[in-house]
Every structure is written in structure tokens, then in C-alpha cells.
Amino acid sequence: MSVSAPVAAPRAVRKAAAARAAGFAPRRQAPTSGALFSAAAPASKQVFMGKSLSAPSARQVAPGRRSVARAAIGDSLEEFLLTATPDPRLRQVLICLAEACRTIAYKVRTASCDKTACLNDFGDDQLAVDVLADKLLFEALRYSGVVASASSEEQSDVVPMGGPDDGFSVAFDPLDGSSIIDTNFSVGTIFGIWPGKELTGINGRGLAAGGVGIYGPRTTFVFAIDDGCHEFLLQDDGKWIHARETREIKEGKIFAPGNLRATFENPGYEKLVSHWIGEKYQLRYTGGMVPDVCQILVKGQGVFANAVSQSAPAKLRVLYEVAPIGHMIECAGGYTTDGSKSVLDIDIVTTVDRSQVCYGSKNEVARFEKLVGGKISQAALQDAKV
């Protein structure tokens, strides 16, 4: 009597079993109404958007060896994080941020873009969706249970989150580019995660992770821990699926020049822009920092620059924008500079410190340092801190 070979379980069933074995709760459908977070759940099993935030057990990493995160196309965010970091608390923070970005993406697609009467601490007009994104991110970090403190570009104060002092601190720009939402350009959330509770007296070298959520024709969650930069695409069922990995930024001819008003007083920046145009580079610039920088990661080439002058001072905050994105670019094999050194080496003295920047390939960043440098911009940088 012949015996039939056992039938392999469907891929979805095998992945679900693997997830349960790793400690993940089955994914639940996000609620359509009611609270986003369940505060009644125990700290170790809190629920956000109907999803258990219990962190899986850490995989063992051989002492002295660096864990290299590799993700296959189609891997879920949770599956990837198991190989990306042995720290379950860092996984928890990233999952909470991804869930918040998922909700923000929906709000961006459906929110009215009429301006409100409120202003942020820096005098910028806020849209209603800015305020909502800010609130969602603070709620996500608070209910993670592992974040000690957080600070938003919209408020600038460091706010206790209730987590342990040896947990993490998070700085974020809740909705960078909100002024171009009504034109239907892509906008995004920027975040940086540091170990401990301090968000001053640090620099970008200490980042545990940096990333962005991008809200455009597609919604993506892009971040770097310490090796490579990884993009996850939001599916219709609310699941994040690995879509891209970037480990090298090559030389190319795509440029995104910010703060062009500075060219009138900064001859080095004027020469740099003239070089790009004369060499027939392709201009790809929307005015939104997140998509304009992340195209470097998507294309694997290009340059983004934002230089300054006396009357066009630095606007980019080191804590909320410059350092987290710089971390992503350098982990992806690219280079960064403030005109004289890597942006990751800029000491963050206050939450409102600002800087000029250049991100991109090795030669493009070197060209920025040669032509623009850091000396011309010092007066403008001082004016920005007044």
C-alpha cells in the first residue's frame, strides 16, 4: 500500500506558526472607532490599534559579532526586527512608531488642510493634521512602556513618557512638509531613537535607530539600525512588508537643492548649484525634506543640500531632522556633512540647535565641503539660535 507524502502547510500557515513560536500575537484588524490604545492592558501586553505589543524574546547573537540585518522581500516588519536587533525594547519602540505612522497616513489622506489658529513654538503655522500626528506619536511612545522621554519639533520640550531611565528617548518631527499637503505632495514623519533618557548632550553617533514614515502615493516606513537602510510598504490589510534594502549610495546626477535663497549671499553654494546645472544633473525637488532625501535611498544615488547665508539662516533642527536622517544615509553607505564634518558628530546642546546639511554620495558630499564649507555659514548659524 502506497503512502502519500505529507502535504506541506501553506506559506501563510507556516509563517503564522513561526510568529507564534517567536512570541508574536496574531495580528488583529485595527479598530474602526474608539481608543487607539488599551491602557487597561498590563504593561507587558499593551495593545495599540488592536495589536498586542508584547515583544518577542531576543535572538542570541554571538559575543563580539555584529548582527547584520538581512530581510527577504515579503518579510513582515516583525520578522525583520527579530534579526535586526537582539533588544526587544528597541523592537517595541519601532513597532509602536510604525503603527502610529499607519494611522497618520490615513489621517493625511482624509484630513482637511484648512489652517488652524495655533502656532508651534517656532512660529510656524500648524495644520490640524500636524496636531493630530503629534498627539498620535506621543501616545504611541507613552504606551510602548519602554520610552523614558520624548520631544517633538512642534513643542521642543522634553516630555517624560513613563518608561524606565535605561530605556529609550525619542525625538521626532510629526509631519515634516505639512505646508505642502494641500498640493498633494508627499510628506513624512522623521524620528530618532537614542538609548537612555537624555535628548541633549548627545549626538547622532549615539542613535539606536533613525527613520521616517513617508505618506505619498504609497505609504512606507523606512529606517536604519546599524547596517543598511530598510523600506517597508504598507499593505491594504495594514501589514508592513519589506520592499527595499539600501547598502550603497553611488555617484549619480540627481540633485535636490534646498534654501536656494542662500545662493545670493553664499558664493560657494552658488558655484555648487551652477556645477549641478552645468553638468546637466536632473533636478528632483519638492520642498519636502523626507521625499527629497529618501529618493537618494530609493535610487541609490544623488545629493540633497541645504546651505545657509546671513539672511537665509539654517532651519533644519539637528535633533529632529538632521541627525536621524543622517543616520539613515550613513547606514545605507552614503555620506553626510555640515560643511566640515559628518552631521552625526554635531553636538546637540539644545533641542533647537540647527545646521546646514548635505547628504549623498562620497564625491558629492566632498564637493559640498570644498565649495560651501562651514566657515561662511557660522554667522547665519548663530543668528538662527538667537
List, as one string, the DSSP characters of 277-320: HHTTPEE---S-HHHHHHHHHHHTEEEEEE---SSS----BIII
378 pLDDT band, cuts 50/70/90, is very low
pLDDT at 272 over 70: yes
Q: What is the pLDDT of residues 81-98, one digit of tens each?
A: 999 999 999 999 999 999
Q: What is the pLDDT of residues 48-80, one digit of tens each?
A: 545 544 433 332 333 333 445 566 778 999 999
Half-sphere exposure of 259 (CA within 13 A, CB side): 24
Can you tell me the distance from the alpha carbon of 282 to that of 94, in angstroms, rounded to the nearest whole number? 34
Q: For position 124, what pLDDT does the model report?
A: 57
Cα 142-228-90 angle, rounded to 5 deg: 20
Q: What is the pLDDT of residues 148-179, one digit of tens each?
A: 999 999 988 999 999 999 999 999 999 998 77
14 pLDDT band, cuts 50/70/90, is very low
> Distance of alpha carbon 255 from its chain centroid, rounded?
21
242 pLDDT band, cuts 50/70/90, is very high
